[in-house]
Amino acid sequence: MTYALSFLEILVGVLLLFGGGELFVAGSVALSLLLGIPQIVIGLTVVSMGTSAPELFVSLLSTIQGDPGGDAIAVSNVVGSNIFNVLIVLGASAAVMPLRVKSRLVRRDVPLLLGVSMATWGMASGGRLTWVAGLALLTGTVINLLWEMRSAGEEPAEAGEDLEADGASPAPQALIKLAAGLGLLVWGSQLLVKGAIAAATALGVSQTVIGLTIVAAGTSMPELVTSLVAAYRGKADLAIGNVVGSNLLNQLVILGVCGVVSGGRGLGVEQVMIERDFPIMVATTLACLPIFWTDGVITRLEGWILIGLYGLYVVEQILTSGASTASDEFRLVVLAGVLPLLLVFFTWGTLQWRRQRHQLPAG
């Protein structure tokens, strides 16, 4: 009965977060357009923050609890969501429709995300994310927002019809959507955190593993649905930008806010996350560069490869969370078999891209 109740709370919590995220995004975009905020800034900040709102509320509520279990869910939710976003959201979107990558992503957004990911890993490597580190991340948020606003005029106006249509609501309606979305997000995050902690206790699994898998996947549902729909409609910029923007804001805003809220005690980070999950998060971000470089398109094959890698990640989580001795053998197979194949694939793709570049006629 305890298992059933826990998973029911998780399921209801995810559904409430999904509905709340949808309303929050719609209200935020409508209000931003009414205030005259540039649409590119809306897409890279407001929409990404809207789809990251479930992660924010779950992690913030977990941090406020003030215990190690809450800290574990707060941090693992962000790290797990970032891994899920790249491997599943981006992979599934490319599997639906090959995604053409803008050069801006390669030259600015992905390197920025990689730098932030490495900096976050470094700040958490001492086993605690302090309030000073949280403040630094929030400062980075402000700097990035100002940079986005300054560079907004450099981007050509395009693909703005959908946002304008969605944002045609009057101010009262936009505020109602914001308030309703906020209420659902708070309620859903409470149910999800409660159910996740109960499920971890009942199953004998660490709360870090639950946060990295079930909670992270649940709070990333808005990103998944948004990017899948965008890919199906041929809006590659929205599908890819949603992933990159959400991953950036997950660290700068969510970990920043949680770090500041944790106060003098700091936000505890388990050693296994420092040694395993943070490096995987950085590696998945780094893997985006060769994928994006190869002829500027994320192919269906590359999408399925990303999905397969997430499957390996989940299997590894399951094996290491129990008493099974198969985890070492599994890691050996991945290191000796899977990683060399991936290196060959990405190297071949990069060489093909360079060959095509050299064959292009001058001028």
Does some domain include residue 362? no
* CATH classification of the domain holding 185: 1.20.1420.30
* b/e per residue 75-86 (b: at least 16 CB within 10 A): bbbbbbbbbbbb
How many domains does one find in the chain? 1
What is the spatial distance between Cα 218 and Cα 21, in angstroms, rounded to a whole number? 12
**pTM, full prediction:** 0.77
Residue 261 lies in a domain: yes
Distances (CA, A) of 317 to 138, 314, 328: 30, 5, 12
The C-alpha atoms of residue 325 and residue 358 are separated, in whole angstroms, by 50
- Indicate the range of 145-159, 179-193, 208-222, 261-275 predicted with least confidence: 145-159
Q: Determine, yes or no, domain membership for 270.
A: yes
For residue 302, is pLDDT > 80? yes
* Position 274 pLDDT exceeds 50: yes
Residue 363: the pLDDT is: 42
SS3 of residue 130 by DSSP: coil
Contact indicator for 114, 294 with CB cutoff of 8 Å: no
As given in the structure block, the two tokens for residue 319 are 């094996």
Structure tokens at 194: 């409660």
Instruction: Give the percent of the chain with pLDDT over 90.
Output: 13
What pLDDT, on a 0 to 100 scale, did the predictor assign at position 9?
Answer: 82
261 vs 119: CA distance, rounded Å: 20
Residue 187 lies in a domain: yes
* 205 in a structural domain: yes
Confidence bin at 205 (pLDDT 50/70/90): confident
pLDDT-based confidence at 124, cuts 50/70/90?
very high
Which of residues 213 and 84 earns the better pLDDT score? 84
Q: Which helix or strand (DSSP H or E) is residue 297 part of? A: strand 297-298
| CB burial string 260-278: b at 16+ within 10 A, e below | bbbeeebbbbbebbbebbb
Say yes or no to pLDDT of 8 above 50: yes
**Residue 78 is encoded by which pair of tokens?**
């962000």
Query: How distant is the alpha carbon of residue 280 from its chain centre?
Result: 13
Q: pLDDT for 148-200, tens place per residue?
A: 767 655 555 444 444 444 444 577 887 788 788 777 877 877 787 778 777 77
Residue with tokens 């779950």: 58
Least confident of 257-271, 314-328, 341-355: 341-355
Give rounded-to-5 percent helix, strand, coil for the chain: 85, 0, 15
Spell out where 212-326 has E strands.
Answer: 267-268, 297-298
Q: Give the list of residues 6+ apart from residue 118 with CB closer than 8 angstroms, or none.
A: 282
Q: How far apart are CA 244 and CA 239, in angstroms?
A: 9
Is a pLDDT exceeding 70 seen at residue 41? no
Percent of the chain with pLDDT over 70: 70
Could you list the residue range(s) of the whole structural domain that residue 194 is in?
2-357
Within a domain: 363: no
Amino acid 260: pLDDT: 93
Minimum mean pLDDT range among 14-18, 169-173, 323-327: 323-327
Which of residues 328 and 191 earns the better pLDDT score?
Answer: 191
* Two tokens, residue 241: 């930008």
Digit-coded pLDDT (tens) for 51-69? 777 788 888 888 887 767 7
